[in-house]
Every structure is written in C-alpha cells, then in structure tokens.
Amino acid sequence: MTQFRPTGYSSLPTIIKNLLIINGLVFFAQKTFGGQYGSFNFEDVFALHAFQSDLFRPWQLITHMFLHGDLGHIFGNMLALWMFGSILENIWGPKQFLLFYFLCGVGAAMIHLAAISYELMDPFKIAMADVPTMGASGAVFGILIAFVYLFPNTYIYIYFFIPMKAKWLGILYFSYELFYALRNSAGDNVARWAHVGGAIVGFVLVYIWKRNNKRF
C-alpha cells in the first residue's frame, strides 16, 4: 500500500518553509505585543470582521490567515500545512502553490462572511459583527482536499499510528465540519463555514487544474 509520511524541515519547499516562519513570527508578536494589556490590538486590525462591523477592512481577507488564537490553533494548522502542503508545492511549484493557498484562504473568508451576514439578519445576533475570525484553517482545508483528490488511496497515519486512506479521511472531516456548520451550535467558536468554504474552493481549483492538466 502507498504510505504518506511528511518530509523533514530541512527538505521543506520554499513557500511552505516561509509560511511556517511568518505564521510563527506573527503569533509571537501577537502574544508579546498584543492582548488585553499589550500595546497593539492585532485582532481589531488584522483579524477578519463581518462586513457590517466598523472594524472591517479589506486587507483582513488576507491578514486573518496569519493570526491564530492559541498555541493549539497554530500548531494544528501548521502541522497540516507541513504534512499536506509540501507535496503539493513540489508538484505545482512555488508560484502555483502560493496562488492556490491564497485563493483558498480568501474564498473561505468570503463564504464565512456570507454565512455571518445571513446570521446578522437576526437583530439579536448583531453583536456577532465585531467577533474576530482568524487562522489559516480555510487555506489549509483547501490544501487537505487537494491532497485527498490527487492521492485518494494514499494511507495517512492518524495520530501517527492508525492508517486511513486519504479519501475516507477527507470525506469524514468535511462531513464533520459541514454538519456542525449547518447545525450552527450556540457557543461554537470555530469558523465552520470557513473550513467548508476552503474545502470547496480547493476542490474546484484542483479539479479545474487537473482537467486542464496544469502541472499534473
């Protein structure tokens, strides 16, 4: 059976390595200079806010991808970026991979904003407009789905021990996120529609590129 194991840091492709470094530096700056008692509010300026919020700025469609809430948040995203993004960049090259990454991230943000705008039609939820959204999850979900589409029968080791074919992992993970996005559970602070949106954009892009035989 085909097994998938990520490469080491020294052999990482250029874009992946730089994304890891930039996200790490931004997270360090967030925790060092930001926060309640910090000198600068990173979330107000760079995290994604609803169109209806006075805090919304166009650049947040991109900058939110480099902010993370806590150590677990950034670790999970960067681990997935490293595991699945490296092979995609090696196949596509740095320019195409970077384009894919940002298209997935921005597409995920737009779908998330559309979902938030729908919810804000309820006047009792207007306070949600100023809730910041941050993280590379939308872009990372696009990368995961692209890997699943291109290598569906490759075995991935869940928790490094349990083998599962990529296609089953992708179906289960996407179904999980879609279920909770539709359920819209109170108190869920995860941007489920951003995850679903990133996966949808990633699938559409990789499907079109493969059909047009763009570096496959």
Instruction: Report percent pLDDT > 70 for the chain.
Output: 89
What's the pLDDT tens digit per position in 35-71? 656 678 899 999 999 999 999 999 999 999 999 999 9
Provide the annotated active-site residues.
137, 195
pLDDT computed for residue 178 by the predictor: 93
What's the pLDDT tens digit per position in 105-139? 999 999 999 999 998 888 878 878 899 999 999 99
Which structural domains are found in the chain, ordered by start?
9-211 (1.20.1540.10)
The answer to which of 60-64, 135-139, 188-192, 204-208 has the lowest mean pLDDT is 188-192
For residue 7, pLDDT beyond 60: no
Number of other CB atoms surrounding residue 146 within 10 Å: 28
> How far is the C-alpha of 153 from the C-alpha of 30, rounded, in Å?
39
1 — pLDDT class (breaks 50, 70, 90): very low
Q: Per-residue pLDDT averaged across 87-100, rounded?
A: 96
Instruction: Report percent pLDDT > 90 for the chain.
Output: 70
Number of other CB atoms surrounding residue 79 within 10 Å: 13
What's the pLDDT tens digit per position in 142-173? 999 999 999 999 988 776 677 889 999 999 99
- Within 13 A of 136's CA, how many CA atoms are on the CB side? 28
Sign of CA dihedral 62, 180, 204, 21: positive
